[in-house]
């Protein structure tokens, strides 16, 4: 158990947890920045968490749900108030209803997470600020302390697992629920570089090609929220051609963009694609959460080998655009 001290202060309405880890601050920070890692220890052992959104930037949000042994789900959210990379971040934290909407009937808290180097690795300190004695007592009675200790007991195993999250690992997809999947890849480049590569036509046409043998003759980018985009690809021999189109719904450069997407000429509703770029050790974590209209469509598209084509594009991005 990494927890070394728990300090409750009823007068200041705070709860402080201190823990020491035999890893660098960089490694510990990345565990909180990467939703794939965070969901391994955010929930108690019997209530694992799944993050459907995690924007680690000022003004960004995280949405998650924890699933109990009987399938019951408890939902929560937090909003980032400040982020100082590899030093601290501050969030407003609260509960959500079954639709993911903040539950105003439950208490909200403010939490500061601080990281510092030690002679043996790193020290983590979280301080929770409650709005009243009543809310503090309510959350303690709900098992907040026991849940926190259970959740943090899983951090050591997460930190020890380097292979699952290391730079150089191929693009992979994780099923989040019946209609959502998260595609992840650490790209060797800064957040601003990766964002630029997704938003300048001349750059996109150099790397967003999938397997060898294709070109991208049409690359019309949505510049402002409400704008539409259109991408088309053609095989080198001209025998095949396809494309996608959609609308830019949200944009918070250089961290997050939300778009709709539909194959040109195909009937039916669009998918919703949420792109998040987060700085991690060695590069940028690209997370793409895709919400499909149905489970059947999600499974059909993933079965086509979508991530194989994406990996070819991301490898080309590193090799032919970012390396130069």
Phi and psi at residue 230, to the nearest 5°: -150, 125
pLDDT tens sequence across 39-82: 999 999 999 999 999 999 999 999 999 999 999 999 999 999 99
Composition of the chain by helix, strand, coil, percent to 5: 25, 40, 35
Residues of the chain with pLDDT under 70: 1, 324
Domains of the chain with CATH codes? 3-160 (3.30.530.20), 172-322 (3.30.530.20)
Q: Are 30 and 150 in contact (CB under 8 A)?
A: no
pLDDT number for residue 148: 86
pLDDT number for residue 320: 93
Secondary structure class of 237 (helix, strand, coil):
coil
Measured at the CA of 256, the angle between CA 84 and CA 214, to 5 degrees, comes to: 130
pLDDT tens sequence across 141-156: 888 888 888 998 999 9
CA 68 to chain centre: 22
pLDDT number for residue 137: 87
Tokens of 256: 């997050």
Helices assigned H by DSSP within 115-222: 133-141, 144-152, 155-160, 191-197, 201-207
Distance CA 287, CA 255 (A): 10
Tokens of 155: 């951090």
Measured at the CA of 44, the angle between CA 39 and CA 49, to 5 degrees, comes to: 30
pLDDT number for residue 4: 83
Secondary structure class of 280 (helix, strand, coil):
strand
Distance CA 228, CA 259 (A): 9
Burial of 60: CB neighbours in 10 Å, binned 0-12, 13-18, 19+: buried
pLDDT number for residue 272: 98
Q: Are 222 and 244 in contact (CB under 8 A)?
A: no
pTM here is 0.93
């Amino acid at each position: 158990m990494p927890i070394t001290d728990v300090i409750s202060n009823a007068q200041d309405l705070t709860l402080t947890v201190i823990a020491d880890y035999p890893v660098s601050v960089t490694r510990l920070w990345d565990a909180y920045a990467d939703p794939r890692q965070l969901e391994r220890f955010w929930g108690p052992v019997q209530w694992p968490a799944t993050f459907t959104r995690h924007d680690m930037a000022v003004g960004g949000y995280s949405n998650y749900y924890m699933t109990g042994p009987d399938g019951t789900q408890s939902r929560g959210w937090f909003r980032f108030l400040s982020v100082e990379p590899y030093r601290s971040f501050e969030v407003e934290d609260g509960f959500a209803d079954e639709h993911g909407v903040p539950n105003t009937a439950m208490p909200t808290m403010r939490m500061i997470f601080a990281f510092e180097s030690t002679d043996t690795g790193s020290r983590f300190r979280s301080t929770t600020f409650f709005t009243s004695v009543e809310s503090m007592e309510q959350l303690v009675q709900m098992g907040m302390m026991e849940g926190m200790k259970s959740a943090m007991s899983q951090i050591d195993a997460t930190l020890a697992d380097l292979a699952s999250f290391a730079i150089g690992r191929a693009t992979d997809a994780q099923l989040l629920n019946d209609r959502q999947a998260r595609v992840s890849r650490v790209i060797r480049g800064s957040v601003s570089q990766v964002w630029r590569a997704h938003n300048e036509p001349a750059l996109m046409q150099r790397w967003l090609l999938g397997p060898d043998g294709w070109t991208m003759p049409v690359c019309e980018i949505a510049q402002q929220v409400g704008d539409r985009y259109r991408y088309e690809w053609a095989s080198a021999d001209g025998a095949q051609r396809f494309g996608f189109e959609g609308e830019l719904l949200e944009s918070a450069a250089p961290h997050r963009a939300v778009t709709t997407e539909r194959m040109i000429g195909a009937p039916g509703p669009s998918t919703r694609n949420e792109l998040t770029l987060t700085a991690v050790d060695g590069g940028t974590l690209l997370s793409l959460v895709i919400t499909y209209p149905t489970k059947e469509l999600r499974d059909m598209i993933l079965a086509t080998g979508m991530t194989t084509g994406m990996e070819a594009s991301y490898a080309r991005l590193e090799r032919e655009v970012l390396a130069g």
